Amino acid sequence: MSAFKLRIVFASLIAATLALMLLDIAIGAVDIPMSDVWKSLTGGNVDPSTSLIVRHIRLIKATVALLCGMALSVSGLQMQTLFRNPLAGPYVLGISSGASLGVAIMLLGSAWLGISSPLGIVTAAWIGAASVLLAISAVSTRIKDIMVLLILGIMLSSAISAIVQMLQYLSHEDALKSFVIWTMGSLGEVTGPQLAILAAAVSAGLLVAIATIKPLDILLLGEQYARTMGLNLRRSRMIIILSTTLLAGTVTAFCGPIGFIGLAMPHVARAITRRADHRVLLPASALVGAIVLIGCDLVSKLLVLPINSITALVGIPVVIWVVLSNKSFSA
Amino acid sequence: MNLKTNTGIAAILLMAWILISAHGCTKNRPSAPSADGYTEHVYTPLYASGFRILGAKGLESTILEVTDPWQGADSVVRRLFISRNGEQAPHDGIMSAITFPARRVVCMSSSHVALLDASGAIDRIVGVSGLDYISNPRIQAGRDTIGDVGFDGNLNYELLLSLRPDIVLIYGVNGASPMENKLDELGIPYMYIGEYLEQSPLGRAEWMIALGEIAGTRKEAEKAFAVIPEEYNRIRDTEWTDTPTVMLNTPYGDSWFMPSTDSYTAALIKDAGGRYVYSGNNSGQSLPVDMETAAILTAQSQIWLTGSQATTIEGLHSSTPKIRFSGMAYNNTADLWESGVACPHIILKDLAAIFHPDSTAGINDTAATLRYYYLLH
Amino acid sequence: MIRFSNLTISHAPDKRLLAGASAHIPAGSLCALIGRNGSGKSTLLRTLAGLSRPESGNILIADTDPYKTSPVKLAQTIAVVTTERIRVANLRCRDVVALGRAPFTNWIGRMRQDDIKWVDHALGLVGMAEFADRQLSSLSDGESQRIMLARALAQDTPVILLDEPTSFLDIPNRIQLINLLADLAHNHGKCILFSTHELDLAISSSDSLLLIDSAGIIHLPAPQMEDYLHANAIFS
């Protein structure tokens, strides 16, 4: 795809992102005319409860969708290149399991374990995710073959799931329901101050992701070739893992595990741009992720379903298409 | 210092900042005149231990104070300031404040609906969580106007705001409700209702007075409540000639959860003149027992309150094929956990009729009409 | 330019590929690495490239110890071509060759005019200029191999190590490749070591040959190696 065409593609993606954001802010459970929506956003004269809905519910939620979509998609892209596996996603290193363990302990087990002043769910999720990633990065400096890391991440996830299942088994049914609902993901529980933190962390993660562009490009040729081209494998892995922690870890802490976006959207970006270099794929994945997640948020509002159901319905066909067309495997 | 160390340190600092900020993202509690000045006892429950209503000399407003409103809480106090006469809430020690009375209430639990109904304030309810699961006929009749705000963890905040609630009644399970932050941000007052943590059946019902205070119907609530302990204790103090053994619950898959000996259900059984068959759980929580133990316990029991999905005896046997039981098996309606909360005396009447079918001492002849239980046959 | 002494390489504790081997391959020469299957040719190349630490011994590539130098500095010294077939969707040949400039570009991999010239030059050297915008995955094994070589050439290193570079090529292309390597060695001063099974081609085009036989190294100029092989009935 020529440079000119690429510019058109990016312009369209940015335009689509803005358009969907606006749509997401304009639509909701309450009927608010577009003029009032606009007035609420620009500080015009409007009923305070309308302004509250538009600014503190819809605007926040749409921004959360934007940030999470970008973060998950970029993180998924990184994992797919790092592990040379088109089915890798942001949770392949165990982030979502770690977060769910933290939340499970708080929601299901704190009475049991005698934790008298439980931390908030966000904090618990973040500690869980960060702990798993710390363990993974400690191990990653010691092993040569990246595939070992992949397997370790998957095994760790399974072990943690088993523990979480035990906690679920022993818990009170109200707690269980709360936990199950957490696993369905939710973009709407984030408050304004929390959004500031989410934005800061995602921005930091994306900045670090920019530093991973060159390493990821080199890694396309495989780890062996990468080393002969001057890549410091240990350091690159650390930076990539750091970026993924900030991106996927923070999203999961604030919104619960949101599936399929990180896995499927990089493939959509590849299909749209027809490029393999990350200088193009990174921003493309980010924009595609944002567009799709904001779209899913819209749909989840209209159908009153949790966000993960919608992302699954969108993401699964994409994954199937990837596997069937086997583009990454073809000679 | 090289790039790797720099990156590592930056990462750790950022992680720490995220942790601290996320945790600290709760309300500020500025220090100023505090709620401790409210020392007058406006209402102190006789049976409930989780709430009380306080007032202050010369002031008309009250404070509803709730203690340990979730499992595992220790000395956790949450206060709702109910303002009358334009009085200002104290700066310190108050979680939420409303103006008396709350006319638009959203209930996150069906038991809140029942307690409001019992206190004569059913019409105050403008929103519930899980409209399809509320048994209350007035709520079902008002389906078109009562909003369903969804479930804890995935709330439809927009709908909630559009209901213009004066207060949202919430509950905590193992800790503070995650709704707190968002409700604070939207400026919607809320209050914990911890009735389900009371072990005493009368204590649970007494919460109707707390809800009455919020909705402005406390006097009616007190009157409504007054007859309940009378009737309850009358049944409880009856001299029964037998004490049947009672088994509870059915298994989910392979696990059979048995309530603790100090639980609400165990108290009801005892007060109705029955004997709860399982004495091995004194933990304060429901715990699973293995199928063999459960089979023995069931075989030893004369009454089985199944709390299951079965509506016939065949249904019961097919879901518990390994269990032999030769006594009377009953199931309960969902309403047991809704309006039953506010009518422990009726539950007790039902249970007394179930446990002592031949005895007519002190029980109306309409004992044949059970409100919350039905025989499986 | 490639100098190693007392080199011992083992695959497993009991399987010694090389024991105390030494050799010196000067700059501006083309050297062919020969030996039976499994004798350790690939392993020796990997060890020299800094990819696999030897059990013991010293290695100096262009006066640099591959195990004591930064990855970037090493990448500016040695370029490697293996037989590994890269399968990545949407990857253009131009992009692959451009990666050869990675040791010289900045942190985000920005290609300057100079770097772009190098890419075109390298593609021209291997005769693949028309393939620049084609996708790597659409090429045959041989064409792909030449692109990987172009990438190594774009890396502009004094030393190039190649593992079976002729393996996917037909005869005309094989000759063309070896001639290219000879030209780079003789006219551009590079030190090139390549492993091969093509004995005749190796003897006729290389300046010297490195033979791995029974955990030992024999390094001889081409004509002498020919005699040595006959005399000792190796490969016959």
In this structure, of A113-117, B300-304, C164-168, the range with the lowest mean pLDDT score is A113-117
Most confident of A43-47, B18-22, C70-74, C228-232: C70-74
Report the topology of domain B238-375.
Rossmann fold (3.40.50)
Binning pLDDT at 50, 70 and 90, where does residue B367 land? very low
Contact of C102 with C183, CB cutoff 8 Å: no
CATH number of C1-77+158-236: 3.40.50.300
What is the share, in percent, of chain B residues with pLDDT greater than 90?
Answer: 62
C40: pLDDT strictly greater than 90: no
B76: pLDDT strictly greater than 80: yes
The pLDDT score that the predictor gives to residue A117 is: 54
CB contact under 8 A, B4 and A238: yes
The pLDDT score that the predictor gives to residue A264 is: 94
DSSP-assigned letters across all residues of B172-232: -SSSS-THHHHHHHHT--EEE--GGG--SHHHHHHHHHHHHHHHT-HHHHHHHHHHHHHHH
Contacts of A228 in chain C (CB under 8 A): 49-51, 75, 78-80
CB contact under 8 A, A213 and C84: no
Furthest-apart CA pair in chain C: how many Å?
56
Which of these, B202, B171, B237, lies nearest to B45 by C-alpha position?
B202
CB contact under 8 A, A214 and C84: no
All partners of chain B with 3 or more CB pairs under 8 angstroms: A
- R_g over Cα of chain B: 24
CB-neighbour burial class of residue A162 (10 A; exposed 0-12, middle 13-18, buried 19+): exposed
CB contact under 8 A, B153 and A182: yes
Residue C85: DSSP 8-state: P
C208: pLDDT strictly greater than 90: yes
Q: Which of B22, B71, B162 is facing A122, going by the closest CB pair?
A: B22
Q: Which of C51, C73, C100 is facing A224, going by the closest CB pair?
A: C51
- Residues 22-41, chain B: which have Cβ within 8 Å of A? 22-23, 25-26
Binning pLDDT at 50, 70 and 90, where does residue A2 land? confident
Question: ipTM score of the complex?
Answer: 0.91
Contact of B16 with A192, CB cutoff 8 Å: no
A77: pLDDT strictly greater than 90: yes
The pLDDT score that the predictor gives to residue B366 is: 46
CB contact under 8 A, C86 and A222: yes
Binning pLDDT at 50, 70 and 90, where does residue A112 land? low
The pLDDT score that the predictor gives to residue A318 is: 83
B174 at interface of A, judged by CB pairs closer than 8 A: yes
Tell me the pLDDT tens digit for each residue of C69-116.
999 999 999 999 998 888 888 999 999 999 999 999 999 999 999 999
Contacts of A213 in chain C (CB under 8 A): 108-109
Q: Which of A214, A225, A228 is facing C109, going by the closest CB pair?
A: A214
Q: Which of B22, B150, B164 is facing A49, going by the closest CB pair?
A: B164
B23: pLDDT strictly greater than 80: no
A47 at interface of B, judged by CB pairs closer than 8 A: no
The pLDDT score that the predictor gives to residue C229 is: 86
Scored b (16 or more CB within 10 A) or e, C164-185 reads: bbbebbeeebbbebbebbbebb
The vertex-B309 CA angle with B306 and B311, nearest 5°, equals: 85
Please provide the average confidence, as pLDDT, over all residues in chain A. Answer: 89
Contact of B235 with B272, CB cutoff 8 Å: yes
C100 at interface of A, judged by CB pairs closer than 8 A: yes
In this structure, of A46-50, A205-209, B11-15, B285-289, the range with the lowest mean pLDDT score is B11-15
Q: Averaged over B359-374, what is the pLDDT?
A: 65
Contacts of A283 in chain C (CB under 8 A): none
Most confident of B4-18, B359-373, C175-189: C175-189
B80: pLDDT strictly greater than 90: yes
A326: pLDDT strictly greater than 50: yes
B8: pLDDT strictly greater than 60: no
Contacts of A127 in chain B (CB under 8 A): 19
Tell me the pLDDT tens digit for each residue of A161-186.
999 998 888 887 778 888 998 999 99
A235 at interface of B, judged by CB pairs closer than 8 A: yes
Tell me the pLDDT tens digit for each residue of B83-92.
998 888 898 8
The more confidently predicted of residues B229 and C213 is: B229
Tell me the pLDDT tens digit for each residue of A57-70.
999 999 999 999 99
A119: pLDDT strictly greater than 90: no
CB contact under 8 A, A49 and B23: no
Chain C CA closest to residue A232 = C71
A214 at interface of C, judged by CB pairs closer than 8 A: yes
Most confident of A35-39, A108-112, B189-193, B235-239: B189-193
User: Which of B6, B18, B74 is the best residue to mutate to test the A interface, defined by the most A CB atoms within 10 Å of its own CB?
Assistant: B18
A211 at interface of C, judged by CB pairs closer than 8 A: yes
Q: Which of C51, C89, C102 is facing A328, going by the closest CB pair?
A: C89
The pLDDT score that the predictor gives to residue B26 is: 45
CB contact under 8 A, C84 and A224: yes
Tell me the pLDDT tens digit for each residue of B126-153.
999 999 999 999 999 999 999 999 988 8
- Residues 181-240, chain B: which have Cβ within 8 Å of A? 181-182, 184-187
Considering chain C, tell me which residue range(s) the CATH 3.40.50.300 domain(s) occupy. Answer: 1-77+158-236
A127 at interface of B, judged by CB pairs closer than 8 A: yes
In this structure, of A168-182, A312-326, B20-34, the range with the lowest mean pLDDT score is B20-34
Q: Is B40 left (phi over 0), alpha (psi -120 to 50) or beta?
A: beta
Contacts of C76 in chain A (CB under 8 A): 230
B32: pLDDT strictly greater than 60: no
A330: pLDDT strictly greater than 50: no
Q: Averaged over A290-311, what is the pLDDT?
A: 92
The pLDDT score that the predictor gives to residue B308 is: 86
Taking the CA atoms of residue B357, residue B358, residue B359 and residue B363 in that order, the dihedral angle to the nearest 10 degrees is: 50
User: Which of B2, B174, B180, B192 is the best residue to mutate to test the A interface, defined by the most A CB atoms within 10 Å of its own CB?
Assistant: B174
Alpha-carbon gap, residue C178 to C204, rounded angstroms: 10
Residue C106, both tokens: 């900045």
Q: Does domain B35-230 have CATH number 3.40.50.1980?
A: yes
Contacts of A277 in chain C (CB under 8 A): 91, 95
Alpha helices, H only, chain B? 3-23, 110-118, 137-141, 157-162, 179-186, 201-215, 218-236, 264-271, 291-299, 313-319, 344-355
What is the share, in percent, of chain C residues with pLDDT greater than 90?
Answer: 63
Please provide the average confidence, as pLDDT, over all residues in chain B. Answer: 87
The pLDDT score that the predictor gives to residue B11 is: 58
The pLDDT score that the predictor gives to residue B117 is: 96
A56 at interface of B, judged by CB pairs closer than 8 A: yes
Domain definitions of chain B by residue range: 35-230, 238-375
Chain A CA closest to residue C138 = A331
The pLDDT score that the predictor gives to residue B13 is: 64
Contact of B53 with B210, CB cutoff 8 Å: yes
In this structure, of A231-245, B15-29, C199-213, the range with the lowest mean pLDDT score is B15-29
